[in-house]
Amino acid sequence: MNLFGWMMGKNKKRIVMIIITVLLISISCGASEVSPAPGCSTGGGCFPVMGGCFGKTVILDLVVTGGGDCFNVRVNNCNGGVLTIENGCEETLVFGEDEIPPGVSRTVDVRPTTGGQFELIRNPSNFSEFVPESDQSIEVIGMLGDQTVRISFIKTARLCE
């Protein structure tokens, strides 16, 4: 009898018990919870998701109108939902007090102002500070030369605790 055959005969019960235990743990963990907010997803049921994204709010339903195709707006929901605006136009893109010159990419967050309005503010990271108590429909209006640019989206309340 070779070594493997001897080990299987000697440890057969132990191996069967290990397999049964692993199967029971896998079944008891159930399906993973999936959320658009990375900080709310549990990934593998019993096993936490690894990574550096912990946001519990997100930006949904982004719509950008006006200004042509020379600029791009992307959502980064890693840590609470911020926007990245890349200005590939020949003119400066202006949102309130913030100007995004040609060739510049900027990460921005949103914050409420008086009268139920919102404004975009510079954000040096991908962490959003704005956490609404309920889902907020947001629209900000800017200018690209003489063209009006509208960015609208929904910023969610916390999707988990």
Per-residue pLDDT 10s for the chain (161 aa) are: 555 555 556 667 776 667 766 555 555 554 455 778 888 876 555 555 556 889 999 999 999 999 888 999 999 999 999 999 999 999 999 998 889 999 999 999 999 998 889 999 999 898 999 999 999 999 999 999 999 999 999 999 999 88
pLDDT at 34: 74
Q: Is 148 in the same domain as 76? A: yes
Same domain, 78 and 146: yes
Output the pTM of the full model.
0.73
Residue type, 151: I
Task: Kindly state the DSSP code that residue 79 receives in the 8-state scheme.
Answer: B
In a domain, 136, yes or no: yes
What is the count of structural domains for the chain? 2
155 in Cβ contact with 136 (< 8 Å) = yes
Q: Is residue 15 part of a domain?
A: yes
- The verdict on residue 41 lying in a domain is no
Is the torsion defined by CA of 114, 118, 124, 128 positive or negative?
positive
In which region does residue 51 sit, left (phi positive, over 0), alpha (psi from -120 to 50) or beta (all else)?
A: left
pLDDT of residue 40: 87
Rg (CA), the chain: 25
Q: Does 94 map to a domain?
A: yes
- The verdict on residue 54 lying in a domain is no
Enclosing domain of residue 16: 3-30
| 81 in the same domain as 139 | yes
